[in-house]
Amino acid sequence: MEATEIIWTEKYRPHTLDELVGQKETVERLKAYVKARNMPHLLFAGPPGVGKTTATLALCRDLFGERYRESLLELNASDERGIDVVREKIKDYARTMALSEVPFKIIFLDEADALTSDAQNALRRTMELYASTTRFILSCNYSSKVIAPIQSRCAVFRFRALEEKEIARMLDHIAKKEKLHLTDEGVKAIIYVSEGDLRMAINALQGAASISGKITDEAVFKASSRAKPDEIEKMVKHAIDGEFMKAREALDKVMVEYGMSGEDVILQVYKEVTGLDIDDHKKVMMIDRIGEYNFRLSEGANERIQLEALLAQLMLLGEDSRKK
């Protein structure tokens, strides 16, 4: 099978805690649990693509060895989120004895913040009753959506977005393995589109590799359906300078050529506005407008009309600034 037919996020997933990218403090704490052959219930919280699931699987592999799947029940709480799953599937597994040398099994609940309130309340009692035979690892993007009684039963680990150098190091490793020519511009483009999400970065690299063996910024933006930052910046500057039709043409280009959704465009506009060399008051007014039109899009308004209205608002703000 060709390398491009394999999902690289799985192909290059670290197998042990020592191989985990970033999260140094978290890794050290987890390795201490492996050494002691004991651990409390754990709650992993942080943005997507930073290693929460990988850390869980690596921890289980280090604890139980290659046959770790026999001592691990992995569930996605966003798919199986009701109270019946807690009462039946989870409870039945939790009450059975461990078969390995480690005196407990692990239940991994991914996206635990998607569990219903009733399911979370049922889960907290299960976590108490079967703590001698089962440990729970809960993973979520928003720990605030996990009820306080569950949080108090867990050791909480906060995963941070990965640094640029950590993503670049992993991309370089994969590029060498896949015999790709990864340019500096290509690396910067992948870091730009991934925003600290290593899974997204690896997928962007694989997408660009399917276009060409030479990974350039153009190939990355094309594969990721993102506009180049300078194209968005030009669109915003045209609007600020009162050149509404030029800004509208630039909007046409990014939406048609890259197939971007309205929300994707508005998020890139936000990123470029924050980096503009303008006074803070003007920047604050622009971000306020961007927030308003982002809300309108999330409520289902017509994206083309709302984006053009946003450009019109930026133009009006630019006119007010010039009058002063």
Tell me what pLDDT residue 278 has. 82
Read off the pLDDT of residues 186-218 as tens digits, 9 standing for 90 and up: 999 999 999 889 999 999 999 999 888 899 998
Same domain, 73 and 116: yes
Residue 319 lies in a domain: yes
Strand ranges in the chain using DSSP code E only, listed in sequence order? 41-45, 72-76, 105-110, 134-140, 154-158, 181-182, 214-215
CATH number at residue 291: 1.20.272.10
Residue 103 lies in a domain: yes
**Which of 256, 246, 248, 251 has the alpha carbon at shortest distance from 225?**
256
Residue 277 lies in a domain: yes
Same domain, 62 and 187: no
Same domain, 131 and 209: no
Q: In sequence order, what are the residues at sequence separation of 6 or more whose Cβ sits closer than 8 angstroms to the Cβ of residue 21?
A: 14, 51, 162, 166, 167, 169, 170, 198
- 115, 134, 158: which is the final residue of a domain? 158
Q: Has residue 257 got a pLDDT over 90?
A: no
Residue 11 lies in a domain: no
**Which of 56, 67, 43, 47 has the alpha carbon at shortest distance from 14?**
56
Q: Where do we find the tokens 């465009």? A: 265
Q: Which amino acid is at 282?
A: K
Tell me what pLDDT residue 92 has. 80
Read off the pLDDT of residues 168-179 as tens digits, 9 standing for 90 and up: 999 999 999 999
Tell me what pLDDT residue 83 has. 66
Cα–chain center distance at 66: 28
Say if CB 259 and CB 303 are below 8 A apart: no
CATH number at residue 35: 3.40.50.300
- 132, 158, 184: which is the final residue of a domain? 158
Tell me what pLDDT residue 4 has. 46
Domain region containing 275 = 229-323
Same domain, 29 and 153: yes
Same domain, 45 and 68: yes
Q: Of all residues in the chain, what percent carry a pLDDT higher than 70?
A: 94
Q: Has residue 1 got a pLDDT over 60?
A: no
Same domain, 44 and 141: yes
Same domain, 206 and 308: no
Q: Has residue 275 got a pLDDT over 90?
A: no
Read off the pLDDT of residues 149-158 as tens digits, 9 standing for 90 and up: 999 999 999 9
Say if CB 264 and CB 224 are below 8 A apart: no
Residue 17 lies in a domain: no
Same domain, 119 and 208: no
Q: Which residues of 219-242 are buried (b: 16+ CB within 10 A; e: fewer)?
A: bbbbbbebbbbebbbbbbbbbbee
Tell me what pLDDT residue 99 has. 75
Residue 6 lies in a domain: no
9-13, 54-58, 190-194, 256-260: least confident range: 256-260
Same domain, 141 and 175: no
- 224, 244, 260: which is the final residue of a domain? 224
Same domain, 104 and 117: yes
For residue 144, the 8-state DSSP code is G
Read off the pLDDT of residues 27-66 as tens digits, 9 standing for 90 and up: 999 999 999 999 999 999 999 999 999 999 999 999 998 8
Tell me what pLDDT residue 172 has. 93
* Average pLDDT value for the chain: 88
Q: What are the backbone dihedrals phi and psi of residue 291, each rounded to the nearest 5 degrees, phi first?
A: -60, -40
pTM value is: 0.83
Same domain, 55 and 128: yes
Q: Is 278 left (phi over 0), alpha (psi -120 to 50) or beta?
A: beta
Residue 91 lies in a domain: yes
Same domain, 275 and 184: no
How many domains, in total, are found in the chain?
A: 3
Mean pLDDT along residues 78-100:
72
Residue 29 lies in a domain: yes
Q: Which residues of 58-93 are buried (b: 16+ CB within 10 A; e: fewer)?
A: bbbbbbbeeebeebbbebebeebbebebbeeebbeb
